[in-house]
Structure 1
Amino acid sequence: MRYILFTLLLLSITFADSLEIYPRSAKMKSGSSIHFSVVATDQDGNMYTPQGINWIASYGNVRGGMYTAPSQHGNYTVTARWRGYTATANIKIKRPQNTIKSIVITPRNQKVEINRGVYFKAIAYDHYNREVPLRAAKWWADGGKIDQNGYYRASYRPGRYTVWVQDTYSGLKASTSVEIFRKVVQPPRLHHIAITPRNQRIGVGAYVQLKAIGYDSYNRPVSFTPKWWCDGGTVSANGYYQAPNRPGYYKVWVQDNYGIKTSTTVEVIRSTIPHNPPSHGSHIYKIVITPRNQRIAVGKGVYLKAIAYDKYDRVVNFRGKWWCDGGTINENGYYQAGYKPGTYTVWVQDNRSRVKASTNVTILRNTVPPYNPPQHGGKARIEVTHWDVNKGNLFSRSRVRVKFTVHGKKAHKVALFGIYPTGKVVELRSASCSNGENLHFREKYSYNISRLELRVYNSWDKEIAKYSGSGR
């Protein structure tokens, strides 16, 4: 009985004779997948599917017979092992078209002011240095935040940081550096000088009063001590020019103490020019607007002056009509900027002769805060060194960041107020202060607020100083 039972057990055990894998070879593209199956054959020629197969890939990923091709092209193998038997399939990975070989970030090595932004773009090239699409770009950076469109927003911490981009499909990546710096607002410094009136035409022995106006790099007027000289005739320290008795073209220069200078040309002619002063009804030959080509912040204002001249370049009194295509301007030449940045034109015209002149005004979203010169004898004053406004929108609140110094022995408290177009005033933040103290406010406020004000109070809550700025 024992012999018979042992014989039956031996007959029930199946021994494999071979192991086959299907398909035995395949051609694939990078990233594609294929399923391999394994069939075992016993000694009697019976075929069955074995269980517990160990899968091995020379390169790529295989799990449960499912093989995913890698991004690198080449020839690879997939091997199935079971009970000492092995079966191998050959895989050929084709080189995909438009394969990315390198990535370049542009612009490179940017300098960005704190809390400002810059757009980066990633450009991919193939093996023939042809530009190819980069459809799977992943951005990240330190020192700030960057979205998946390449927009980098700098933090408040100055320094040198790195921006990366990677093609998640091929694994290639590139980087560039970005330097975050803190912009220091300096008091106005003379940048250029303008002489008015320019290119005069006067008779021999006649005279003309010249005026020199200094401007900083933001076209804000700056006072300076002019030094006049000329190559013909005489000019006084006040710009009073006397023509020589010889006709011709002569240069008149003006310079400050640091070497910044400019010049104008005076044409001296022999023809007689009336010596009597021009009357109000004299014929107007031209009109000049000064200062020209101004740059101001949204909501700010600037005074423009129109000077009329007759054909002898003598100043003529007139009453002009002002108008503009952006912002508002009154009859006295005071221009009030709107809240839409851009370059606009301002005109003035003489109602009688129809002679007109024009100049450009550029409205900026953020400009350098106006310089507040020291004031003596006042109760207090506010010196603003940084004024940064982000207008926000209907879905995100507006934000203001301001740095300032309070001057005044009676200063006790400072508050930041928001003012609506209707005149409603709300307090955004307040803090105690003292003479010479540096303060920093960073607050969010409603999108509808159009103006912001800093107010300083004494210990009896009486306002002793105020600074007003645009809220949008």
Structure 2
Amino acid sequence: MRFVRFCACAAVVTVACGGRRDAPVISLTIAPATATVDAGGSQRFIARVTGADLPVAWSLAEGAGAGSIAADGTYTAPLTAGAYHLIARAGDLSASAVVTVGAVSISIAPASANVTSGGSLQLQASVTGAADAGVLWSMRESGAGTVDSSGRYTASQAPGVYHVIATSRADPSRSAAAAITVLPQPPTAVNIFPPIAALEPGQSVRFTAAVAGSQDAAVSWSADGGTIDANGLYVAPQTPGRYTIVAVSHADASKRATAEVDVGAGIAVAISPAAVQIEEGVQQRFIAAANGSDTRVTWSLAEAAGGTVDANGLYTAPRGPGTFHVVATSVADPSHSIAAAVTVIVPAVSVTLTPAAITIRPGANLHFTAAAVGAADTRLQWASDCCASIAQDGSFTAPAAPGTYHLIARSGHRSRGRHAGGRRSHRLHRVPSRHHLVGPGRRAGRQHFERRVPGPVRSRRHLPCHRHR
């Protein structure tokens, strides 16, 4: 038997319609398609070619004024705001992207301020719409002071209104101004320490002076008894008495301060003022110093009902007249003390009430105001008699029935006078009348106000509370 081997080979052929193959689709895109870029800032754009391996070339539709674009698609914006178009080309294909460049703006904070002559102020500038947020500082007016690169302004010595300018470094055409008002230096104030001293004849004490409101802290010293040198070292005279030390500002000779020195054999404590007259409830500051290295004192009152005095010598007068004594006692030697006499007086007090006269109808609302004049305690208490009522804030609602009513404002201040119990009162009367208005009058030492409330003629009758006192 004979065997025969066969080999077979197969091929698959795809025949397109018409006998042609389709060409690949080639496209070009840019990402991002739109972007917003600060003036002077940059943005990277990517161009993608699909379906072919083609090189990409970049350009700007608006030319050089639109900024610049590198071969790798990095775009640098111009300083001029606007909308610009980036073009990418690959072969016969092209694509575009839109770039918006915002306007540069700048602001200064604070936009206005007051500075004393020679003083300084820190300013802050804010730049938006630019990649470079730096600014350049300058002054608009000559002689207006100086401003450094950080925006710190130092005022001129001459008062006036000046302008600090911040200019954008990215876009020099953009700037902002702050208006600075330079004020004169405040009046110079001089203080002396210690304000009072007690010395034996020939003893010494050093005074110091502090000058406020001026860069010149120098003072000149003088004394009406004893001697004092340029450094404030005072030497007491041999003659006993109270002497005054004066420190005068070198910057402003009209500004000065004084201290008092009590000189005498056996004087251990000095106090100022030595005597004073004040109204009840008013405060008075006393100063005192003991002789020796420890000048501290403690404060007390000679009379139990003489008011109060705190550890710093601040005295508060009691309620009621009289003569009282504030005592300063040496801490180093409690056997030495001195007293200041305080005469407390009671001022004349009057109470005013508004409105003084008015006509209203039953049920109407009205607000009264009252004031205690001449009283340390200005608080008032409101009251009424019979059928009317008034709130403590002075709000009044007229009763339904026409009649005469009395409203009273009493001062809590105690005063010796013709008013019983030391109270001041104002009375408001309401009488049945349709049109008549009666003004204020006086009776028995009280101020009367009449308030007439119109009502129906048939309702006019005297109520039990219709009375004159």
Pairwise same-fold verdict (TM > 0.5): no
* TM-score for both structures, normalised by structure 1: 0.29
- Structure with the larger strand share: 1
**Higher-Rg member (1/2):** 2
* TM-score for both structures, normalised by structure 2: 0.29
